[in-house]
Amino acid sequence: MALLVASLTGVAAEANPGYGISSWAGWKPGDISRAECPELRSVPIILKWDDVESVQGEYAFHEKIGKILQAAHADDLSVTLMIWVGPDAPEWIYSKGVPVVTTDRTHNALGQKTDKQSKYPYYLHPEYKEAFHGLIEAFGNYIKTLPPALRERIVLVQCAEGSTGDGQPYKGNPIDKKHDISEEVWNEFRIEAWDRYRKAMPGVPILVNSDANGGMESQWLLDNMEVITLKEGMFSHGYIVSDNDKRLAKHAAIQAEANKRGKLVLMRGEMDGELFEMGWSERNIPQALYWSGIFASHCLLDIWNVPTKALKDKANWPACAFFNKYAGHRKVSTAPAAFCALRDGLEASDFDRFPATKFGGKPEKKRDAERYIKIANAFATYGARMDDPQKATGGGMINRKATGPNDVGWGTLPGNYSRFLTQIDPGSGDAGRWNIDETIYGRFGRSFEHQSGKKQMRFQLDAGFNAKKLKVTVTYLDKGTGSWSIRLLGMDGTKIFQNKNSGVWKTQTVTSSGFSDLILNYESGDDTTFHLIEIDRID
């Protein structure tokens, strides 16, 4: 198993071939291949306990996974593995006295009526725990017997302790309240499961669901796991999600502590069926997926599960290609590229920028939809919209049910999405733009506004991003006949570009032997709108 560790440490970790786009949910040979989506890097293999051990003590790992692993290997695909145990416990569990827990769940996460996943075992029963821990040990023993070529395909194994891969024991609430499990007791159960997986599969990163973790759980991971491997759901379900500022701060603290200890952090997240169901995304799937991928990259997601149907559509490949380019590249000293995707985030939680005297509301009153509407109206001439304000005031799983674009949120991040390239004093020399057009680029942007004195955007490249030669690519909307320029501090000269009013998004590039700051400057005529700046090492 040592090869798995070696592939996930040091500089080699930044180039792990399994990082990037993954399909979803539960891959089988024939579902999707690299030929159908060249950007595909890994596939998830999801097993169900009742299939793997339908008879107690008789494990069918080879029958249920062997051929699937071989097919993934043949298509040069990495894999992630998980066994669902909660709603998929074998029937013999109940014959051993483990209570059946029925929940009040009637609708799934997409709001669709369902009678699935409402039956669970009572996890704390001693017979259940003994069988569950036996399953983990047997799973580890199977992985140890795999040929090296197949073992090396495994990027991670997710520990599913309860309700599928979620961090909670049940979907819905137990009808019989005696089966309620407190958060404290449940997290003790989870940690015990993590420890069992860690010992059963040395060298394999064990992923856990971060959404349910508090300080104790995070500390245990830092103290005990060689690779801190987390599922971060709200970094992958769209891009305007409430309270992601707090989630990012929490993750930054974990990343900083892991860095001190010389440990790698690995994250995955899922874009599920919402893409085809919810109004904000279904109206323009390529655009929704593209900006979701940029946001996921900003949040340092390493593996992004995307529905197979979306991956087979060539219109979505630019989103996948962008995510793959940055997946896994957390270290500025080894990253091949940097980016800054331009947007102005309208934060209802920002009472300095949007004072209550003008926009109403109170800091403790997140659900004041009228405040959100007033903020959007102030920027309506720049394209800002609030199609479904009530959804914007809820949590992440409510946000994603919006019928259309909501450009004001709460804790959804106030500025650009970026990696290693930061705008200095955003808004001082530019104006935010929203819903510019229906292309993948046109959801957000920043533009000059020379009549109000906004004529310069300045960006700083992280000091550790060094190379003998760099390529700068600027994506802009060629609308009007204005001119603008790129200047790289540390180099002589400025390169000026003249727009030709084609109405399409274009790119301009310059190369450099190195610089600290980059300046986009208004030169004359019509104002120009910009989408993205990317800097690539080409040495």
CATH (one of 2.60.120.260, 3.40.50.2000, 3.40.640.10, 3.40.50.1000) for 417-537? 2.60.120.260
Segment among 1-5, 67-71, 401-405, 458-462 with least mean pLDDT? 1-5
**Per DSSP, what are the bridge partners of residue 231?**
209, 268
Class of domain 2-234+246-269+291-314: alpha beta
According to the model, what pLDDT value does residue 90 have? 96
pLDDT digits (tens, 9 = 90+) for 1-18: 333 333 333 332 345 899
Three-state DSSP class for 278? coil
Q: Are 537 and 510 in contact (CB under 8 A)?
A: no
Q: Are 497 and 516 in contact (CB under 8 A)?
A: no
What residues does each domain of the chain span? 2-234+246-269+291-314, 350-409, 417-537
According to the model, what pLDDT value does residue 11 have? 30
Q: What are the strands of the beta sheet with 494-498, ordered from one edge? A: 421-424, 456-461, 517-524, 483-488, 494-498
Identical topology for domains 2-234+246-269+291-314 and 417-537: no
**Per DSSP, what are the bridge partners of residue 506?**
476
Winning range, highest mean pLDDT, from 211-215, 284-288, 514-518: 284-288
Q: Are 79 and 45 in contact (CB under 8 A)?
A: yes
pLDDT digits (tens, 9 = 90+) for 214-251: 999 999 999 999 999 999 999 999 999 999 999 999 99
- The span from the CA of 16 to the CA of 33, in Å, is 19
Is residue 21 within a helix (H) or strand (E), and if so which, with residue range?
Answer: strand 20-24
